[in-house]
Amino acid sequence: MLTAFLVATLAFQEHAAWERFAPGSWVELRTTGTRSGQPVKEIVKTSFKNVTELELVLLVETTDTAGGRGHLEMKFPLPQRAAPKEEEGTKLGQEDLLLEGKTFACEVRERRGTRRWITTGVKANGGVLKSEAISGTVKVLSRVLKLEEKVRVGSATVTCWVREDVTETPDQKTTRTHWMSDEVPGGLVRMEMRQSRGKERIEETETTLTSFEIVKK
């Protein structure tokens, strides 16, 4: 259970989402819902333990539905040289996308089987408003739903952008909706997970940021 939850909640917490802050910063996320027909209640507190020139260290403390507790130290290697310029892919043309009542001119590019709709002047999701990839019988569609949404976390209000990822196979569909913000360590403010196989609902959970603390650099 610990591993499954970490994959779901830490997948978007790359080291860059913590490097904006200083050691001592932390977030607490609570997940509730059902998974495989069983009730779920999980609490994960992730703390920024340390950073060196070589790595960034997070401490993850968990409490699960059965009251079990665990902790895990996660180490993220830090780049030792400038990253090479990202391959842009093949330009396929231009297309306008409508988002929140506004039209965005996008450049459509394809790279290694993934097609992306990219616009300039938008920070959310690196300017990628939509992407789609098909590999055999697996289809993955990702799209930004909102560029700005205010979310209350305790006594604070943070500004989020919202993205939906849908993965479909012949017998299964998984939808994840993420609320992301640069204002909190790790970036994840909320996530809704819906997974079904035919008419069977495998998982329906909601993860929310319940509290956080920032130590400024």
pLDDT band (50, 70, 90) for residue 11: very low
Judged against a pLDDT cut of 60, whether residue 40 lies above it is answered with yes
pTM: 0.89
pLDDT digits (tens, 9 = 90+) for 139-148: 999 999 999 9
CA atoms within 13 A on the CB side of 157: 3
Look at 194 and 82; give whichever has higher pLDDT: 194
pLDDT band (50, 70, 90) for residue 108: very high
**Residue in this structure with the two tokens 């507190």, named with its chain if needed:** 45
For residues 118 and 129, the answer to whether their CB atoms sit within 8 Å is yes
What's the average model confidence in pLDDT over 105-119? 95
Share of the chain above pLDDT 70, in %: 92
Token pair belonging to 26? 């932390």
pLDDT digits (tens, 9 = 90+) for 168-213: 999 999 999 999 999 999 999 999 999 999 889 999 999 999 999 9
What's the average model confidence in pLDDT over 155-159? 95
Token pair belonging to 28? 């607490």
User: What's the pLDDT at 9?
Assistant: 55
Judged against a pLDDT cut of 70, whether residue 49 lies above it is answered with yes
User: What's the pLDDT at 160?
Assistant: 97
Look at 68 and 159; give whichever has higher pLDDT: 159
User: What's the pLDDT at 87?
Assistant: 73
CA atoms within 13 A on the CB side of 85: 2
User: What's the pLDDT at 204?
Assistant: 95
* Residue-averaged pLDDT of the chain: 89
In order, the DSSP letters of 37-101 are TEEEEEEEEEEEEEE-SSEEEEEEEEE-TTS-EEEEEEEEEPPSSPPPPPP--EEEEEEEEEETT
Token pair belonging to 31? 């997940």
User: What's the pLDDT at 30?
Assistant: 94
User: What's the pLDDT at 126?
Assistant: 92
The full set of domains in the chain, from first to last, is 2-80+87-213 (2.40.360)
User: What's the pLDDT at 115?
Assistant: 96
pLDDT band (50, 70, 90) for residue 2: very low
